[in-house]
């Protein structure tokens, strides 16, 4: 019988014994001591002792629950390889990673048969000893560089903090060398700047520089690219692969299996604190033996599952969220560890295009879309001479379906036995049971017309930057237009302009056939009910003091005068429309899972019977299973209610799966636009090609960057 070591500030014999309980999952799990061959990991690296070796790791938070947040996890990370831990939010992957640096979370009880760093058993270290490990022997890269970096300190001071006391010249040289190794050009200049003066990609590179400045043997990266656009993500992941090639071990925590497929050597799939499956990336992804792994793979949006459901049935969704709720809370607590302490220590069934406005009766397949790839990069308004620039309305509902009351009528059917959500039967491969709208749409006027929109922001030293440069788009009733591009391309500015939250310097926005951007706010306010927003971060946009019922009641109070009991019944119906139980009305947002919060955000947006939704990165912060649930919900709602959507995202797989047309933005301009299948199959603009090439895909592996 092996001897287990316990690390805890509140450990007792009873809790340690409970935490040491082991459960066998019965699924295939590779021998953690074996390191299978992989072309991205040299044979020499396999022959070396592991940088970190973990056996029987268990973590509990006994002050909150008896649940095992991490349950009998074992793995090795060898020099020169990238080992990934993948799973949905609440799976225990972040707590596992943070246990390797002594930061599992407040009140955590950590036990293990072995937790060795370069052959030294480190679990029993006191806090002072852990501080000497963090930043020196183990580098840690957090997810959100903007909140992790001190806004009041220069980047050079932030990176150099882990160096301790060194002569100024030596410190400067080490800092600049780390910044340069992290891929930052002009490190002498960047080291004197503050975090807010850097782009998202540069901030993440600065965070990596702070993690490698002491040349640690192990690098732990917890969701390091989740909030980054695809090109920046590719650069950061190539950097991590280069660091591994230098002989470091890299432990990559992620929920993105496509990233795992391209950049990791081995993978552990975690669910509810346990490893359900592990092995080489090729074996696990090509021949998954665990049902949960298969669910993760099926939930990834791509051209292969366009028109099919991504998620399981709602009752299975709710059960999964309940099972992970306590683990999710532990993950959140672990994530809220002060970053300074670490630094100091160291369609579904998408309706298909059938008719094009302005070309009544002409099938979309007969149109030859033309993309604006020159000049100002804007999309020309639809004319008989330029039919490709007219919105493909994708089988949009008849005009009567898109008028006021359509959401209300759908609410009455929420929860019906023949509703779209129930028809899936939990089959993740079956076509989404969505009623395809009928009728022709050639005579429907567009809901949204943006014409030659220009927004100019002041820059440093009197310069001026065009955030929008002559942008023109149209969205028809029942249609989804996807807007993609790198950070800073202007897509969020476009969304704010459509919402009337950003003043235009030139051009115009029309909504529902009437002027919008030129109206004073007092005249715009009565129309705001018809256009609503789904934000990226509902937890940040919700008032944490309000319950779910109060949040949904806010827009209901602005509508027709109704008694409190009637508004409450309406809130229950809205929750049913987004597959949530009415019992959640009394809960506060902080008690909900990420997927539940996003669905509450959608219910709140639907409360005012909108005709147009502006969704700005609504699934970028969600794990793949929760993302699948939200995407399925949006398409089901669109088919049942007839909503139009402006869908802004940096995730090209999501856009390809969800939208009818796509507009690619760069430097404030639309450089290419057209039906989504056409643009993805035959991109014409070099930037579009570059953007698509940067997308990680399962089954393909990029060549190492040279």
Q: Report the CATH number that the domain containing residue 494 is assigned in CATH.
A: 3.40.50.300
Distance CA 73, CA 550 (A): 41
The answer to whether 467 and 493 have CB atoms below 8 angstroms apart is yes
Which of 300, 319, 345 terminates a domain? The answer is 345
d(CA 209, CA 222): 15
Asked if 94 and 159 sit in the same domain, the reply is no
Cα torsion angle, 115, 120, 126, 132, sign: negative
49 and 179 part of one domain: no
- Asked whether the predicted pLDDT for residue 224 surpasses 60, the reply is yes
Using one digit for the tens of pLDDT, what is the confidence trace for 95-117? 999 999 898 888 899 999 999 99
pLDDT (tens digit per residue) in 672-686? 999 999 999 999 999
Query: CA–CA distance from 406 to each of 357, 530, 613 (Å)?
Result: 22, 12, 14
Q: Does residue 417 carry a pLDDT above 50?
A: no
Residue 661: strand pairing partners: 481, 675
In a domain, 467, yes or no: yes
Q: Is the pLDDT of residue 270 over 60?
A: yes
* Beta pairing class for 464-475 and 448-458: antiparallel
**Mean local confidence (pLDDT), 583-605:** 87
Give the total number of structural domains in the chain: 3
pLDDT at res. 219: 93
pLDDT at 329 over 80: no
Of the candidates 671, 679, 650, 687, which has an alpha carbon nearest to the alpha carbon of residue 469? 671
Give the per-residue pLDDT at 318. 42
3-state helix, strand, coil in the chain (%, to 5): 40, 20, 40
Whether 258 and 168 map to the same domain: the answer is no
356-365, 487-496, 500-509, 642-651: range with highest mean pLDDT: 500-509
Its pTM stands at 0.71
Residues 152 and 39 in one domain: no
Q: What angle do CA 340, 228, 135 make, to 5 degrees?
A: 30
> What confidence category does residue 364 fall into, taking pLDDT thresholds of 50, 70 and 90?
very low
Same domain for 87 and 176: no
Residue 163's domain comprises 143-215
Same domain, 39 and 65: yes
pLDDT at 17: 36
Q: Are residues 223 and 210 in the same domain?
A: no
- In this predicted structure, the answer to whether residue 14 has a pLDDT above a threshold of 80 is no
CA 608 to chain CA centroid, nearest Å: 27
- pLDDT score recorded for residue 106: 84
Instruction: Determine contact, residues 487/229, Cβ cutoff 8 Å.
Output: yes
Percent of the chain whose pLDDT exceeds 90: 40
The β-bridge relationship of strands 644-648 and 612-616 is parallel
Higher per-residue pLDDT: 299 or 699: 299
pLDDT for 4 equals: 55
* Bridge-based pairing state of the strands 448-458 and 114-117: unpaired
554 has pLDDT over 80: yes
DSSP-based three-state secondary structure for 145: helix
Strand order in the sheet with 249-254: 138-141, 218-222, 249-254, 82-86, 266-271, 274-280
Is 698 inside any structural domain? Answer: no
How many CA atoms are closer than 13 Å to the CA of 266, on its beta-carbon side?
27
Residue range 599-621: mean pLDDT, rounded = 90
Q: Is the residue at 12 inside a domain?
A: no
3-state secondary structure of 174: helix
Q: At what angle do helices 230-245 and 200-212 cross, to 10 degrees?
A: 20
**Within-domain flag for 58:** yes
110 shares its domain with 130: yes
**Better-scored residue on pLDDT, 421 or 462:** 462
Instruction: Give the range among 174-178, 179-183, 253-257, 426-430 with minimum mean pLDDT.
Output: 426-430
Query: Do 145 and 224 contact (CB within 8 A), yes or no?
Result: no
pLDDT surpasses 80 at 328: no
Note the pLDDT tens digit of each residue in 529-547: 999 999 877 877 889 999 9
| pLDDT per position as a tens digit, 28-79 | 444 444 443 344 444 455 568 999 999 999 999 988 777 899 999 999 999 9
Listing DSSP states for 563-632 in one string gives -HHHHHHHHHHHHHHTT--GGGGG--GGGS-HHHHHHHHHHHHHTT--SEEEEESTTTTS-HHHHHHHHH
Neighbours of 3 (CB within 10 A): 6
pLDDT of 624 reads 86
Least confident of 265-274, 493-502, 579-588: 579-588
**Which phi and psi (to 5°) does residue 614 adopt?**
-105, 110
- What is the pLDDT, as a whole number, of residue 426? 37
Q: Strands 480-484, 506-511: parallel, antiparallel or unpaired by DSSP?
A: unpaired
Residue 6 falls inside a structural domain: no
Per-residue pLDDT of 87-96, as tens digits, reads 988 889 999 9
Strand ranges for 169-209 from DSSP E: none
Q: Please give the distance of CA 17 from its chain centroid, rounded to a whole number.
A: 38
In a domain, 76, yes or no: yes
361: in domain: no
The bridge status of strand 612-616 relative to strand 531-534 is parallel
Check residue 247 and give left, alpha or beta (phi > 0: left; psi -120 to 50: alpha): left
**More confident position, 11 or 578:** 578
Same domain flag for 129 and 208: no
Give the contacts of 623 (CB within 8 A, at least 6 positions apart).
87, 88, 89, 255, 594
- Of the three residues 159, 190, 215, the one that is the final residue of a domain is 215
Does the structure show a pLDDT above 60 at 354? no
Bridge-based pairing state of the strands 661-666 and 612-616:
unpaired
524 Cβ contact partners less than 8 Å away, ≥ 6 residues apart: 500, 516
Task: Report yes or no on 239 lying in a domain.
Answer: no
CA distances in angstroms from 100 to 28, 81, 705, listed in the order given: 24, 17, 29
Range with lowest mean pLDDT among 277-286, 448-457, 618-627? 618-627
Last residue in a domain, options 299, 318, 345: 345
Predicted local distance difference test score (pLDDT) of residue 550: 95
Where is 539: in which H helix or E strand?
A: helix 538-541
Shared domain for 515 and 634, answered yes or no, is yes
Task: Give percent of the chain above pLDDT 70.
Answer: 73
CB 652 within 8 Å of CB 256: no
Name the pLDDT band for 128 (thresholds 50, 70, 90): confident
210 vs 343 pLDDT, higher one: 210
8 Å CB contact between 653 and 459: no
One domain, residues 164 and 280: no
* Same domain flag for 516 and 631: yes
């Amino acid at each position: 019988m092996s001897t287990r070591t316990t690390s805890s500030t509140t450990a007792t014999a009873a809790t340690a014994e409970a935490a040491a309980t082991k459960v066998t999952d019965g699924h295939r799990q590779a021998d953690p001591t074996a390191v299978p061959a992989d072309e991205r990991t040299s044979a020499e690296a396999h022959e070396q002792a592991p940088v970190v070796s973990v056996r029987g790791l268990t973590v509990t938070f006994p002050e909150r629950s008896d649940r095992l947040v991490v349950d009998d996890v074992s793995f090795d990370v060898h020099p020169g390889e990238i080992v990934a831990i993948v799973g949905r939010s609440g799976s225990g992957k972040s707590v596992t990673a943070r246990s390797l640096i002594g930061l599992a979370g407040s009140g955590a009880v950590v036990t293990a048969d072995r937790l060795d760093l370069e052959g030294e058993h480190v679990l029993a270290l006191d806090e002072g000893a852990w501080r000497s490990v963090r930043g020196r022997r183990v580098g840690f890269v957090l997810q959100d560089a903007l909140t992790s970096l001190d806004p009041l300190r220069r980047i050079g001071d932030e990176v150099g903090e882990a160096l301790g006391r060194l002569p100024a010249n030596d410190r400067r040289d080490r800092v600049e060398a780390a910044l340069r190794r992290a891929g930052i050009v002009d490190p002498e200049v960047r080291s004197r700047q503050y975090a807010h003066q850097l782009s998202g990609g540069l901030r993440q590179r600065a965070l990596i520089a702070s993690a490698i400045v002491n040349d640690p043997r192990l690098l732990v990266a917890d969701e390091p690219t989740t909030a980054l656009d695809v090109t920046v993500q590719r650069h950061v992941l190539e950097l991590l692969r280069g660091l591994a090639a230098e002989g470091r071990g890299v432990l990559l925590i992620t929920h993105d299996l496509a990233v795992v497929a391209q950049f990791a050597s081995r993978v552990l799939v975690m669910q509810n604190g346990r490893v359900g499956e592990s092995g080489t990336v090729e074996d696990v992804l090509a021949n998954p033996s665990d049902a949960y792994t298969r669910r993760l793979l099926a939930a990834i949006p791509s051209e292969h599952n366009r028109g099919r459901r991504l998620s399981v049935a709602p009752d299975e969704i709710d059960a999964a969220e309940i099972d992970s709720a306590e683990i999710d809370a532990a993950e959140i607590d672990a994530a809220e560890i002060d970053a300074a302490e670490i630094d100091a220590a160291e369609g579904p069934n998408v309706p298909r295009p059938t008719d094009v406005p302005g070309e009544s009766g002409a099938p979309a397949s007969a149109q030859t879309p033309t993309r604006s790839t020159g000049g100002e990069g804007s999309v020309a308004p639809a004319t008989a001479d330029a039919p490709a620039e007219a919105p493909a309305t994708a089988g949009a509902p008849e005009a009567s379906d898109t008028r006021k009351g359509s959401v209300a009528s759908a609410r009455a059917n929420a929860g019906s036995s023949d509703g779209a959500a129930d028809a899936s039967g939990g089959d993740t491969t079956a076509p989404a049971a969505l009623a395809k709208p009928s009728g022709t749409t050639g005579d429907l006027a567009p809901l949204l017309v943006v014409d030659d929109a220009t927004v100019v922001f002041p820059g440093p030293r009197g310069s001026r930057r065009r955030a929008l440069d002559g942008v023109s788009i149209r969205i028809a009733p029942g249609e989804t237009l996807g807007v993609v591009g790198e950070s800073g391309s202007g897509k969020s500015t476009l969304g704010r302009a459509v919402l009337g939250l950003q003043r235009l310097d030139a051009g115009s926005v029309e909504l529902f056939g009437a002027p919008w951007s030129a109206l004073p706010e007092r005249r715009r306010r009565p129309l705001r009910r018809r256009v609503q927003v789904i934000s990226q971060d509902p937890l940040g946009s919700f008032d944490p003091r309000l319950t779910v019922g109060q949040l949904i009641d806010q827009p209901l109070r602005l509508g027709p005068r109704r008694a409190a009991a009637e508004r409450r019944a309406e809130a229950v119906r809205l929750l049913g429309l987004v597959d949530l139980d009415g019992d959640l009305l009394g809960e506060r947002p902080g008690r909900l899972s990420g997927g539940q919060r996003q669905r509450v955000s959608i219910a709140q947006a639907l409360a005012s019977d909108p005709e147009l939704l502006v969704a700005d990165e609504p699934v970028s912060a969600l794990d793949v299973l929760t993302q699948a649930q939200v995407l399925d919900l949006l398409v089901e709602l669109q088919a049942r209610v007839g909503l139009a959507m402006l869908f802004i995202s940096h995730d090209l797989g999501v856009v390809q799966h969800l939208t009818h047309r796509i507009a690619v933005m760069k430097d404030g301009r639309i450089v290419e636009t057209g039906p989504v299948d056409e643009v993805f199959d035959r991109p014409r603009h070099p930037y579009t090609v570059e953007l698509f090439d940067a997308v990680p895909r399962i089954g393909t592996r990029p060549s190492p960057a040279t």
